[in-house]
Amino acid sequence: MTRALPVALVLALALAGGAASAARLRAEEPLSEAQIKTLQALYQEASGHSMKGEAAKSNEAYQKLLAALPLPSEGRHDPDRARVLYDMAVNHVTLGNKKEAFEHLHRAVDAGYTDHGYLSIDSRLGPLRSEKDFPPLFEKCKRALGDVAFGTKDLKGNEIAKKDYEGKVLIIDVWGTWCPPCRAEIPHFVKLQEKYRDKGLRVIGLTWERGFTDEPTRKRVQSFAETNKINYPLIMASQRLLNSIRPPVTAFPTTLFVSAEGVVEDRLMGLEDYASLEARALKLLAKVPAAKGD
């Protein structure tokens, strides 16, 4: 039986498979009341038109919303923008604009939309699935979750570049220093990185400190990393970055196992023993016998 800490307060802003609430469009950084009201009004206008079947008017409002949304603080991860682009794509399907629908879906994935499972069953996208452009879009979305850390910077300010992880098996540990099961699992990842790095294994820690990414929090995490001899990069995960993980994180720790092809092949919630983690890593490493370390 695994142990995990439930998410009690961090995902109120998470974007779901369906429409987002107005509150979910708030950025990780504090916004003024005027900004919040503007975002809420634009979202309500866009969704209201959509519910009435007024797809063109809905997209006009969504376009204004895109212009008003704050830019993400790291990389490409902007789940709010991705959700809006997705809903605009749905409107374009309603309008019969398949080309524009695909363009907006690609932009949504580029912004961090990763829920390929929902993409495959959303009845509103039915007219697109028989098109030749849908399979590559689906594959792109399928690989997007494995890219969640790329474009960010670690605690030392080094960019996590996708090119440095191509052809590698990647473990992404979503954890926090406040989480006892997370802390208990850290030595397992340290050992895996040390033992299998030369075989092509990489570990990245997405460090969720309840949304805080300020300098005192960074220093506390850095101190923890040094004390525990963490030998892989740690990224301070903002609300926006956490929201990029679909389906959403519902417990800590959450561990993603990404194949050398960039597909999330396994997902665990809660504390796992070393043998279990090693077995999953070896299963993916066995598929890339030619993988080499740096």
Query: What are the tens digits of pLDDT across the range 45-84?
Result: 999 999 999 999 999 999 999 999 887 655 566 778 888 9
pLDDT (mean) for 247-262: 92
pLDDT (mean) for 16-43: 61
Looking at domain 162-285, what is its CATH homologous superfamily?
Glutaredoxin (3.40.30.10)
User: What is the Cα–Cα distance from 88 to 101, expressed in whole angstroms?
Assistant: 7
pLDDT (mean) for 85-103: 97
pTM: 0.72
Q: 187-213: b or e for each residue (b if 16 or more CB lie within 10 Å)? A: ebbbebbeebbebbbbbbbbbbbebeb
Per residue in 170-212, pLDDT (tens digit) is: 999 999 999 999 999 999 999 999 999 999 999 999 999 988 8
In the CATH hierarchy, which fold is given to the domain comprising 30-69+78-147? 1.25.40
Domain locations in the chain as residue ranges: 30-69+78-147, 162-285
Residue 246 confidence class, pLDDT cut points 50, 70, 90: confident
Look at residue 76 in the predicted model and tell me its pLDDT: 60
